[in-house]
A and B are shown apart, each in its own frame.
Chain A
Amino acid sequence: MARFLFLAIAALGLLAALGTVLARDLVRAGLHLVAFFFCVACLFVVLEAEFLAAAQVLIYIGAVAILLMFGIMLTRNAAGGEADLSGGWRVPAILAGLAVFAALAFGINNTVSPAGAGPWARVVERPALEPADAAWKAERSRAIDDMPRVVGEQFMTRYALAFELAGLLLTAALVGAVALAREDEAADSVAEPEPGAEARPPVATSPRPSTTTAP
């Protein structure tokens, strides 16, 4: 039953990913992306990380996909024929994708895992947590049963520095995004170089003449 469920979710997810990559209409690609995010959230539920699934739905579907939709709406191509696939690079791109998949499949099937654990393909079941005979089993079953609380505790104790850095990164990125996308005279003034910037005498060893001209 679990296997059937996984196969259904994975097939839907891969189809949605293919649709994202191949759809000509960008809005349709965005909706396929939402489906892919939802399939990944379902996989998180299968992996017993329900809090992560909730975070995935909230952040990816609720924020990132909507932001991408706004990006699509705001940047319609003036000259038509939008969302073309790049013609000459189609075969090399598909070859690169296949090569990466082959390399990853090789890594899954051969011994690259650490410390003599054998290939990953030999791990066929998750470790049982039921007889809590080791400390990590009790820890992990508490983490699964009470994931939001444990995530909060971990972020406040063990990963406090990473938590602060993530907050700083988000603040800087959002303020920077607003500063970038602001529509006023700042967009014009960055186009022209400063008048005193080119005051140095030209170096004789420069191979090509400067082609940048101030407007």
Chain B
Amino acid sequence: MNNDIPLSWFLYFSAASFAIGLTGVLLRRNAVAVLMAIEIMLNAANVNLVAFWRYGTPAAGSGPMPGVILALLVITVAAAEVAVGLGLILLCYRRWRAVDVDRYDTLSG
């Protein structure tokens, strides 16, 4: 009888929060809220990466912490994405005076 947490619990948490984030991306109209939902999805992927790193046995020559390094790079990319995304949202807000993603329909014929 071991009391350790099964790997699948982390995977279920991650899958559930990814599904919630995807629903948020599809459900929200506010562009900032869509960015927030994307952040939820990226965090779910990070939990998965770290859980697989801790529960798996590594392949030969893969270094001590590939999952952690990949999670750190994902955090970096997420920070860059939020900066650029908010810049774009501010630009669109200045032009249309709205942050609803379904108002940005200038390109749709």
Contacts and interface: CB of A to CB of B under 8 A. Distances in A.
A18 interface: yes
Interface in A162-192: 162, 166, 169-170, 172-174, 176-181, 183, 187, 191
A29 B78 CA distance: 18
Contact of A124 (B6, B12, B39): B6
Contacts of A200: none
Q: Classify chain B's interface size.
A: 35 or more
B103 to A, nearest CB: 10
Interface string B75-109: 11111111110111111011101111010000000
Given A86-B29, A169-B80, A170-B79, A47 B69 contact: no
Interface in A103-146: 104-105, 108-109, 120-121, 123-127, 136, 139-140, 142-143
Contacts of B65: 140, 143, 147, 150-151, 154
A177 B89 CA distance: 10
Contact of B82 (A17, A67, A121): A67
The B interface, classified by DSSP as helix, strand, loop or mixed, is helix
Contact of A100 (B7, B19, B37): B19
Most-contacted residue by chain A among B63, B84, B102 (CB, 10 A):
B63
Contacts of B77: 166, 169
B19 A108 contact: no
A3 B55 CA distance: 15
Most-contacted residue by chain A among B7, B32, B89 (CB, 10 A):
B32
A86 B72 contact: no
Interface in B34-67: 35-37, 39-40, 43, 46-47, 50-51, 53-58, 63-65
Contacts of A33: 36, 39-40
A187 B26 contact: no
A101 B15 contact: yes
B32 to A, nearest CB: 5
A189 to B, nearest CB: 13
Contacts, number: 268
Q: Classify chain A's interface size.
A: 35 or more
A40 B49 CA distance: 12
B92 to A, nearest CB: 9
A156 to B, nearest CB: 12
A173 B72 contact: no
A203 interface: no
Interface string B15-35: 111111111101111111101
B30 A26 contact: yes
B28 A86 contact: yes
Contacts of A170: 76, 79-80
Interface of B: 2-13, 15-24, 26-33, 35-37, 39-40, 43, 46-47, 50-51, 53-58, 63-65, 68-69, 71-73, 75-84, 86-91, 93-95, 97-100, 102
